[in-house]
């Protein structure tokens, strides 16, 4: 098994506003998804750190933007190692929070996506058993419009047969515009399905490498 380039990720801070995030320099990849899609489990599987992102049977526990630093050796323009991060965006959908807080996060996520210069790509977490939700489509449309690379992890693949998972992936790929920088894969944190492929995609984003493959 190859060395995990995301191993050693460490919690830095949790921010209520984008101006509380780490300095906007280096490179970072954001993880977005509905509250029950398995985002925390995916982050833990990718970093090889079971307790990095909190998992809970109560969806919507992530109600802040959480920054994790990486011990990355990604090279910047001056051939020096850049600071690299993963940003866990607030889970969206099921969280039992006041409408005012939901609106706050809608605005902050929008601000983050539009203003964060160090953002190199988005990993969108969706439950493979369900069709795309409004939030998922909104994220994809943003990536389409700004040409921001996006990689979709179709999580909880262990809940389906291999044939069902392949069909779900094929259906999603048909929905993706061929001219957009969006890729997709099947993923299971529980069984480790697709973990190395997803790690490679995150590293490619941090290095500024965009694949043409869907």
Q: Check residue 171 and give its pLDDT.
A: 93
Give a yes or no: residue 209 inside a domain: no
Calculate mean pLDDT across residues 14-34: 94
| Segment 142-200, tens digit of pLDDT | 888 888 999 999 999 999 999 999 999 999 988 886 667 789 999 999 999 999 999 99
Give a yes or no: residue 208 inside a domain: no
Give a yes or no: residue 3 inside a domain: no
What is the domain-level CATH number for residue 131? 3.40.50.300
Fill in the DSSP letter of residue 154.
Answer: E
Mean pLDDT across the chain: 87
This model's pTM is above 0.75: yes
The string of DSSP codes covering 47-107 is HT-TTSS---SSTT---SEEEEEE----B-TTSSBPPEEEEEPPPBSS----HHHHHHHHH
Give a yes or no: residue 40 inside a domain: yes
**Band of the pLDDT at 54, cuts 50, 70, 90?**
confident
Count how many domains the chain has: 1
Give a yes or no: residue 214 inside a domain: no
Give a yes or no: residue 212 inside a domain: no
Give a yes or no: residue 157 inside a domain: yes
Give a yes or no: residue 83 inside a domain: yes
Calculate mean pLDDT across residues 76-86: 78
Q: How far apart are CA 112 and CA 75, in angstroms?
A: 24
Q: Check residue 3 and give its pLDDT.
A: 87
Contact between 40 and 125 (Cβ < 8 Å): no
Q: Regarding beta strands 10-15 and 65-70, do their DSSP bridges make them parallel or antiparallel, or are they unpaired? A: antiparallel
**Band of the pLDDT at 121, cuts 50, 70, 90?**
very high
- For residue 173, the enclosing domain spans 10-203
Calculate mean pLDDT across residues 42-48: 95
């Amino acid at each position: 098994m190859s060395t995990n380039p995301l191993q050693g990720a460490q919690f830095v801070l949790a921010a209520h506003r984008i101006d509380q995030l780490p300095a906007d320099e280096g490179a970072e990849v954001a993880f977005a998804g509905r509250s029950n899609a398995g985002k925390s489990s995916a982050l833990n599987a990718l970093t090889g750190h079971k307790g990095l992102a909190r998992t809970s049977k109560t969806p919507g526990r992530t109600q802040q933007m959480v920054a994790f630093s990486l011990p990355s050796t990604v090279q910047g323009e001056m051939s020096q190692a850049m600071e690299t991060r993963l940003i866990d965006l607030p889970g969206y959908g099921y969280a039992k929070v006041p409408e005012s807080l939901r609106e706050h996060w809608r605005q902050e996520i929008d601000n983050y996506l539009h203003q964060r210069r160090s953002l190199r790509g988005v990993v969108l977490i969706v439950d493979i058993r369900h069709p795309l939700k409004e939030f998922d489509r909104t994220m994809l449309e943003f990536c389409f419009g700004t040409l921001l690379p996006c990689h979709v992890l179709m999580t909880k693949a262990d809940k389906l047969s291999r044939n069902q998972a392949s069909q779900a992936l094929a259906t999603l790929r048909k929905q993706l515009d061929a001219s957009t920088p969006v890729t997709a894969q099947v993923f299971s944190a529980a069984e480790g399905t697709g973990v190395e492929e997803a790690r490679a995609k995150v590293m490619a984003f941090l290095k500024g490498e965009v694949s043409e493959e869907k």
